[in-house]
Amino acid sequence: MEIIRNNFKDQLPKVYKAIEEADFMAIDGEFSGISDGPSVSTLTNGFDTPEERYQKLRKHSMDFLLFQFGLCTFSYDNTEARYLMKSFNFYIFPKPFNRNSTDKKFVCQSSSIDFLANQGFDFNKVFRNGIPYLNQEEERQLRDQYEEKRSQANGASSLSYISNAPKTPVNIPEEHKSFIDKIVESVEDLLESEEKRSLDLQPSTGYQRKLIYQTLNWKYQRGIHVETLENDKKERYIAIRKVDEEERKKIEQEKQAKEQEELDDAVGFSRIIHAISTSGKLVVGHNMLLDIMHTIHQFFCQLPDELNEFKEVTTCVFPRVLDTKLMATTNPFKEIVYNTSLGELEKRLKDPPFKPPKVDNAQGFPGYNTDSEQLHEAGYDAYITGLCFISMANYLGSFLSPPKTFVSSRSKIIRPFFNKLFLMRIMDIPYLNLEGPDLQPKRDNVLHVTFPKEWKTSDLYQLFSAFGNIQVSWIDDMSAFVSLCQPDQVQIAVNTSRYAESYKIQTYAEYIAKKNEENMA
């Protein structure tokens, strides 16, 4: 089901209900880009530490926009031994909410845009009809704005004014005094009059309105209601109505309700993420580190400086996540699944020893058909991520005694896969551990090499040709990690390089030590 700005409010209860009923959910995001660094490969070095990887993604990936969000909820139907699924495909765009809202900027990467364009992605839907959103800080600010306005209108003015300007009586600049006096006169007339109930002032500037509000708030704490309206010509003017206390309260309440609705509209898509978060349910994703980072960054808060804090925030926002890519690259799956890219994985998991999961569309929900792929639409990707999870979970049931054909998302047997996020292209650390410290491989067969810009991979092969098979992991165009087959050759390589001028070799340990030193300084 497609959710855009126009139908968001109407469909919201359906989404909430789906989340409420779900046993677990699958999510997926599409972004306007991946890396604003020189290239994606520098973003994913084979010997990054988890901390380094987090820092790179935080610095080089967060300026892109998460503009499509797929959510697929799965609830188990015991009587028919099948899952019922509801899938939602949200289009997201930070349409400025009002004159005061931040005018968000985001980066697009041509290759990512071109890739999505080739998949038939509908950019018009994003930009013309994407659902807006606010992070928690922006939501707080907007709420404060409303509250300030309200408190001003109610008379409890807290206007910022230079030095110690007296709050009452109002300090009216000389040249505005006669203007304000006339207005006070007309309000007196209104209050004394039997017939007249209301009074519309002439259009005025923001500054004039400020002076009027201050004056009227000070002079008439009760008895009138003052508000700013816009006429046909988009000019703003002040409208004054005589009200008794009852009426005044009612007006205020109506206004407050309307403001709450506006606030909700502005918070927009973030409400969905809040609902997923507070449900505390299992959230499944495929290679989901970037999805989680973008989701938190866009809808909750700026990403923290340190990896440890990021783990804490993630655990708050998503108490239980499972990465199907990590699952597929872990035993017992690792040995029987060769290609863990999402599309391939889904196909593989339809064949023995796996069983295609029994999943039907919930009533009233249009479904996806895995035969006619719609890969890279977020809703579809979330859907097949869910399928992959179900197949793999059920497969684990075959190891139980007695074997089970259905394993629920609450089963202990899948617990070891919780809260571990797949780390792409890191050779010796399979996952980011959200629940504690990360694995620390020795890397005693790894060298760090620095060299001139002109070098290519082949130059490195040539340089190390005496050491048999090597593996090159580029850091940037002037450095790379090179891993040798045998750790005992590392020292030999370092020694032979001692007098080289064009390049420099150090051990991984030396490199890390120097790096930490620099960070301390």
Ligand X SMILES: Nc1nc2c(ncn2[C@@H]2O[C@H](COP(=O)(O)OP(=O)(O)O)[C@@H](O)[C@H]2O)c(=O)[nH]1
Binding pattern for the stretch 105-144 against its own copies, x by CB under 8 A and - elsewhere: xxxxxxx-xx-xx----xxx-xxx----------------
> Which of the choices its own copies, ligand X, none does residue 162 contact, using the CB cut-off of 5 to 8 A by kind?
its own copies
Distance between CA 95 and CA 269 in Å, rounded? 12
Q: Which of the residues 46 through 85 are near its own copies (CB under 8 A)?
A: 65
Distances (CA, A) of 72 to 26, 83, 387: 5, 12, 10
Asked whether position 152 contacts ligand X by CB under 6 A, the answer is yes
Q: Which of 53, 38, 54 is nearest to 426 (CA)?
A: 53
> Which of the choices its own copies, ligand X, none does residue 106 contact, using the CB cut-off of 5 to 8 A by kind?
its own copies
User: In terms of CB distance, is 93 or 481 closer to its own copies?
Assistant: 93
Q: Which of the residues 229 through 248 are near ligand X (CB under 6 A)?
A: 236
User: In terms of CB distance, is 418 or 503 closer to its own copies?
Assistant: 503
Q: Which of 359, 352, 360 is nearest to 390 (CA)?
A: 359
Distances (CA, A) of 502 to 452, 467, 491, 505: 7, 20, 19, 11
What DSSP state is assigned to residue 488?
Answer: G
Q: Which of the residues 185 through 214 are near its own copies (CB under 8 A)?
A: 206-207, 210
Asked whether position 478 contacts its own copies by CB under 8 A, the answer is no
User: In terms of CB distance, is 206 or 366 closer to ligand X?
Assistant: 206
> Which of the choices its own copies, ligand X, none does residue 228 contact, using the CB cut-off of 5 to 8 A by kind?
ligand X
Answer whether 27's CB lies under 8 Å from 285's CB: yes
> Which of the choices ligand X, its own copies, none does residue 491 contact, using the CB cut-off of 5 to 8 A by kind?
none
Asked whether position 358 contacts its own copies by CB under 8 A, the answer is no
Q: Which of the residues 190 through 219 are near ligand X (CB under 6 A)?
A: 206-207, 209-210, 213
Asked whether position 42 contacts ligand X by CB under 6 A, the answer is no
Asked whether position 175 contacts its own copies by CB under 8 A, the answer is yes
Bridge partner residues of 240 (DSSP)? 199, 226
Binding pattern for the stretch 437-456 against ligand X, x by CB under 6 A and - elsewhere: -------------------x
Chosen residue from 79, 158, 160, 363 binding its own copies by CB under 8 A: 160
Classify strands 359-361 and 82-91 as parallel, antiparallel or unpaired. parallel
| Residue 202, helix vs strand vs coil | strand
User: In terms of CB distance, is 123 or 218 closer to its own copies?
Assistant: 123
Asked whether position 258 contacts ligand X by CB under 6 A, the answer is no
Tell me which long-range contacts 7-10 makes (C-beta under 8 A, separation of at least 24): 8/131, 8/268, 8/269, 9/265
Q: Provide the residue type at 437 as one letter.
A: P
List, in order, residues 6 or more apart from 6 with CB less than 8 Å away: 129
Asked whether position 120 contacts ligand X by CB under 6 A, the answer is no
Asked whether position 173 contacts its own copies by CB under 8 A, the answer is yes
Phi and psi (nearest 5°) for 502?
A: -80, -20
List, in order, residues 6 or more apart from 327 with CB less than 8 Å away: 333, 389, 392, 417
Shortest distance, position 210 Cβ to ligand X, whole Å:
4
What DSSP state is assigned to residue 439?
Answer: P
List, in order, residues 6 or more apart from 398 with CB less than 8 Å away: 353, 404, 405
Asked whether position 457 contacts its own copies by CB under 8 A, the answer is yes
In this structure, what token pair is assigned to residue 410?
A: 């609450």
Asked whether position 82 contacts ligand X by CB under 6 A, the answer is no
Bridge partner residues of 238 (DSSP)? 228
Classify strands 198-203 and 24-31 as parallel, antiparallel or unpaired. unpaired
Shortest distance, position 40 Cβ to ligand X, whole Å:
13
Note the residues at the interface with its own copies (CB under 8 A): 32-33, 36, 39, 65, 93-96, 103-111, 113-114, 116-117, 122-124, 126-128, 160-163, 165, 171, 173-175, 206-207, 210, 451, 454-459, 461-463, 465, 468-469, 502-503
Note the residues at the interface with ligand X (CB under 6 A): 99, 152, 206-207, 209-210, 213, 228, 236, 456
